[in-house]
A and B are shown apart, each in its own frame.
Chain A
């Protein structure tokens, strides 16, 4: 089974990389990009029976730094 973890900076935490991407899009002529937030997607191949609670624990202990990052877990088939 698979799980997909999305890690993003929390709202209110300045994202310098996102700001740089936004600025680059603007300078390329793409108009109307009001905000860019950059995060990461982590795909996990898991043994059958792994629970969402276990994946949440992985996020809390390693995959996200919850001081500044939030995470979302999607359990797949």
Chain B
């Protein structure tokens, strides 16, 4: 199984995401944003956290127009698996691979701490190793994590069971406490919390490890 982690100017969680995939047994390479194609034979793309292009214009807006993201959009539309974390979630929303938008935190402060999340659905490659309703602690570190979506979009997410994670104690004003959402085909996950910062006990907790392990298991089975 192979993973590719994108690297934009300003990405700063790419090495952590590589480590997360590697711990789950995936052979992982990095892909520079100017590349126009993904490596052959990959099973999942990781879009890491950070401040791509300095968050200029809007978080993720410039990265969404980069050459590699055109390849990622084609890959996702063809049924490929994509994990976007933090800035990666913002990039996936800006490319419209996921619905909604991430706005400035309602409290206007950058929030950085381990946050309790509820696993809402286990019906995805990313969440299948958890149990429904399970509470997990995953670090957040963001200034623009306030997820917003219109009424129709929210109704669709709920009807299709596409809310992956919610916050127990909403840290940023996100609508319906949403921390992570899935695409309609359930193969693209975007989330503000950082599972790759919780894959080994030395990081203060390993409750993000089942996300990578579950994903690796799903890719082997696929």
Q: A residues within 8 Å of B by Cβ?
A: 13-14, 16-17, 20, 61-63, 65, 67-68
Contacts and interface: CB of A to CB of B under 8 A. Distances in A.
Contact of A16 (B100, B101, B108): B108
B12 interface: no
B220 interface: no
Interface residues of B, number: 17
A65 B148 contact: no
B61 A62 contact: yes
B65 interface: yes
Interface in B105-160: 105-108, 146, 148, 150
Contact of B105 (A16, A61, A62): A16
Contacts of A68: 101, 103, 148
Q: Which of A14, A63, A67, A68 has its CB near the most chain B CB atoms (within 10 A)?
A: A67
Nearest to A67: B101
A51 to B, nearest CB: 21
Nearest to A64: B58
B214 interface: no
Given A67-B101, A68-B101, A62 B57 contact: yes
Contacts of A20: 108
Interface of B: 57-58, 61, 65, 94, 100-101, 103-108, 146, 148, 150, 173
A66 B33 CA distance: 25
B58 to A, nearest CB: 6
A65 B108 contact: no
Contacts of B57: 62-63
Would you list the 9 A-B pairs with minimal beta carbon distance, nearest first? A67-B101, A16-B104, A68-B101, A16-B106, A16-B108, A20-B108, A65-B58, A65-B101, A17-B104
A63 B58 CA distance: 9
A17 B108 contact: yes
A23 to B, nearest CB: 10
Nearest to B103: A68
Contacts of B58: 65
A17 B173 CA distance: 13
B105 A13 contact: no
Nearest to A38: B104
